């Protein structure tokens, strides 16, 4: 199965949301992972609350902040938009989603980013299905 890593510096918000939605939306097509180069103590509580409200997914049950050194070898790396500070991880395919960091923002700002992540995962699924078929 294809392995996709969602990468950001702190692995506490956008990359965690992407891991959760990747598992939820694309679990039959690819395995989702997330990681960063620095760790926060926990996943952003607003991200946890809103993903649970919108999708019924409790990220704290199955996810935690991880370093990129904890990841298996992956086929696809997706960076969240952390610009020059984005960690590097070798892969066959790379994308940057250039997402705003909603940390500390309003629910509307979080929901906008969550929906962008959902849309991007759906696009990635279509691309990967073409490559696999």
Could you state, in order of their start, the residue ranges of all structural domains in the chain? 2-132
For residue 104, pLDDT beyond 90: yes
Q: What is residue 20's predicted lDDT score, i.e. its pLDDT?
A: 98
End-to-end CA separation in angstroms for the chain: 13
Average pLDDT, the chain: 93
Q: Residue 109: is its pLDDT beyond 80?
A: yes
CB 91 within 8 A of CB 75: yes
The model's pTM? 0.94
Task: Say whether pLDDT at 117 is over 90.
Answer: yes
Give the model's pLDDT for residue 90.
85
Confidence (pLDDT) at 57: 97
Compare 83 and 96 and report the one with higher pLDDT.
96
Res. 67 pLDDT band, cuts 50 70 90: very high
Q: Which fold has domain 2-132?
A: Rossmann fold (3.40.50)
Mean pLDDT calculated for residue range 53-61 = 97
Residue 97 pLDDT > 60? yes
CA distance 30 to 25: 10
> Rounded to an integer, what distance in angstroms lies between the CA atom of residue 32 and that of residue 3?
6
Q: Span 84-110, mean pLDDT?
A: 88
Q: What are phi and psi of 74, to 5 degrees?
A: -125, 160
Which token pair is 66?
């991880």
Largest CA distance in the chain: 42
Is a pLDDT exceeding 80 seen at residue 133? no
């Amino acid at each position: 199965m294809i392995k996709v890593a969602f990468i950001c510096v702190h692995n506490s918000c956008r990359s965690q949301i992407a891991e959760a939605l990747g598992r939820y939306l694309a679990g039959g097509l690819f395995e989702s992972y997330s990681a960063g180069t620095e760790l926060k103590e926990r996943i952003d509580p607003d991200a946890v609350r809103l993903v649970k409200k919108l999708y019924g997914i409790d990220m704290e049950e199955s996810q935690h902040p991880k370093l990129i050194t904890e990841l298996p070898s992956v086929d696809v790396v997706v960076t969240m938009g952390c610009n020059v500070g984005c960690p590097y991880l070798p892969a066959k395919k790379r994308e940057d989603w250039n997402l705003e960091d909603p940390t500390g923002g309003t629910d509307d700002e979080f929901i906008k980013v969550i929906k962008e992540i959902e849309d991007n995962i759906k696009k990635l699924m279509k691309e990967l299905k073409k490559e696999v078929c």
